[in-house]
Amino acid sequence: MEAFDAHTEPDLSSVLAWAEFQRAALAEAQSEILKSLRYGHTPSPWFARAFRGQTWEEVEAHFQAQRRRLDLLTMFELLAMTEAILRLDLQDRVHTRRKDSLSRRFRELHKVRPRGIRLKEHLLQLMEEEGVVTGKALNDFRRLLRLRHWLAHGRHWNPKLGRSYTPGDVYDISRRFLEAAGLTRS
Query: Which stretches of the chain bind another protein, using CB under 8 A?
Result: 33, 36-40, 42-43, 47-49, 51-57, 59
User: Nearer Cβ to another protein, position 52 or 115?
Assistant: 52
User: Nearer Cβ to another protein, position 11 or 60?
Assistant: 60
Minimal distance in Å, beta carbon 156 to another protein? 22
User: Nearer Cβ to another protein, position 33 or 137?
Assistant: 33
User: Nearer Cβ to another protein, position 21 or 56?
Assistant: 56
Q: Who's near 36: CB < 8 A, 6+ residues apart?
A: 42, 43, 47, 48
Reference 106, options 127, 85, 120; nearest CA is: 127
Q: Who's near 69: CB < 8 A, 6+ residues apart?
A: none
Minimal distance in Å, beta carbon 24 to another protein? 19
Minimal distance in Å, beta carbon 104 to another protein? 57
Q: Who's near 47: CB < 8 A, 6+ residues apart?
A: 29, 32, 33, 36
CB 145 within 8 A of CB 119: yes
Minimal distance in Å, beta carbon 73 to another protein? 22
Q: Who's near 44: CB < 8 A, 6+ residues apart?
A: 32
Q: How far apart are CA 113 and CA 71, in angstroms?
A: 35
User: Nearer Cβ to another protein, position 2 or 57?
Assistant: 57
Q: How far apart are CA 124 and CA 146, in angstroms?
A: 14
Minimal distance in Å, beta carbon 35 to another protein? 10
